[in-house]
Amino acid sequence: MTFIKNYVKKEFLDNRHPSFHLINTLGWIALIVVDSIIVSPQQITTSLSFFIVNTLEWSTGYLITIYLRYIYKDFPYRSKSIFTIIGFIFTISFLASCLLYLSAHFTFFLFETQYQGKIIRSIFSMKNITANMIMIFPLLTTWSLLYFGIKFWIDLLEERERSQKASLLAQSAQLQMLRYQINPHFLFNSFSSLRALIRIDQNKAENMLSKLSEFYRYTLVAKNNTEIPLIEEIEAITHYAEIEKIRFEDKIEFEFNIDSLAEEYPIPSFLIHPLVENAIKYGMKTSEMPLKIWINASVENNWLIIQIINSGKFIKNGNDEGHVGTGCGLLNIKNRLAYSYPYKNKFEINEQDGKVYATVKIFKDLK
């Protein structure tokens, strides 16, 4: 009983859009009522068994359309021409009509034993086949066209919703970039290191100032772009890494391994930087010195695979004021990936052999 209750709740009540099962069930009930009252009222009123058998016959059509849904659901109609779609619908509808014709007669054969001989003869009668198919084929074809029409409408609404959410997340990311531009902790530490370097090593100070200006220039340019080539993000991270290298000296080491195929791969701007910042922030707390950080990127079967690896331990849900912690910052990355690349992204963080692996995977069909 609980299973039935949960199934009904999930399939009929919890859907954000019109429930397939609810619409389909009501549609077939309406068809049975119309057929019983309008098409063959005399037989229905004089024989209860005829009404039951007639209902069971049409119920086989209901079961067939449930199965049709699973066929249509996986059909990639977006990548097909209109002629291919129509041809596919007509073919499947014809086969479903044949199945409904046979299943309806079989149902009648089981329950109306006195007519079994007549039923067997009529099944293979061309006149009977033609008369029934003229009624069944347009019915199932109309059902199929309605299914694809509603599916297209729902997909369009979801695509619009994803686009709106992606836009909101992009705005959120821009706000985060603005925070990076004026991050008081990062600026204070950088300027403190810069002031010390000016006194003892002017060449290093000049180099640090150059890297700092390049990094902040990227934050200004990237905020106006939804997607940028990966190499641009890597260049900004390189400047950021060199600044941190000057600050921490021998306490931190960076290694970049970027596949040439990955360099022009488009990604959302400022996607990777929070992962690098987390690697430094939490790695400094948990790793033996020097902290080692690897930034890797490669392409495999149109999947861009980015890995930010650091020595140390994973601090779950860490979130210090003024920094992107493993809470809101990583949640933002997950959401941006989900809405920018629905069903075509993966994001995970795990710890293995004294290292923390943050892995981002994005699929895009690059032709």
171 lies in some domain: no
Q: Which residue has the tokens 């990227």?
A: 218
Return the pLDDT at 325. 44
pTM of the model: 0.49
> What are the structure tokens assigned to 117, written together?
């001989």
Rounded distance, CA 8 to CA 22, Å? 9
244-266 pLDDT tens trace:
887 788 899 999 999 998 998 88
Question: Looking at the structure, do residues 286 and 340 belong to the same domain, yes or no?
Answer: yes
User: Same domain, yes or no, for 67 and 20?
Assistant: yes
For 88, the token pair is 């596919």
pLDDT in the model for residue 170: 65
Separation of CA 50 from chain center: 49
Q: Which of 343, 340, 336, 279 is nearest to 311 (CA)?
A: 279
DSSP 78: G
Distance between CA atoms of 166 and 160, rounded to whole angstroms?
A: 10
Domain membership of residue 172 (yes or no) is no
Distance CA 279, CA 291 (A): 9
In a domain, 233, yes or no: yes
CA dist., res. 86 & res. 250, Å (int): 67
What is the domain extent for residue 50?
2-161
pLDDT of 307: 95
Contacts 24+ apart (CB under 8 A), 111-116: 111/49, 111/52, 111/53, 111/56, 112/49, 112/53
**Spatial distance between the Cα atoms of 156 and 148, rounded to a whole number of angstroms:** 12
**345 pairs with which residues across the strands?**
362
Per-residue model confidence (pLDDT) at position 242: 82
Burial (CB count <10 Å: 0-12, 13-18, 19+), residue 279: buried
pLDDT at 78: 76
Write out pLDDT tens, residues 7-57.
Answer: 555 554 545 566 777 788 888 888 777 776 765 666 555 566 667 777 777
What's the pLDDT at 243? 79
Q: Please state, as a whole number, how many other Cβ atoms lie within 10 Å of the Cβ of residue 92.
A: 17
> Do 186 and 54 sit in the same domain of this protein?
no
Q: How far apart are CA 249 and CA 253, in angstroms?
A: 9
Beta carbons within 10 angstroms of residue 363's beta carbon: 14
Residue 174 lies in a domain: no
Domain assignment of residue 173, yes or no? no
Q: What is the pLDDT of residue 319?
A: 45
Residues 33 and 145 occupy one common structural domain: yes
Q: Note whether 18 and 144 are same-domain residues.
A: yes
Q: Which of 161, 190, 223 is the last residue of a domain?
A: 161
Q: Is residue 170 part of a domain?
A: no
Same domain? For 25 and 146 the reply is yes
Q: Which two tokens stand for residue 45?
A: 């009123």
Quick one: 226 and 347 in the same domain? yes
Q: In the chain, which stretches have pLDDT less than 50?
A: 12, 14, 178-179, 181-182, 319-326
Same domain, 66 and 197: no
Structurally, how many domains does the chain consist of? 2
We report the CATH number of the domain holding residue 294 as 3.30.565.10
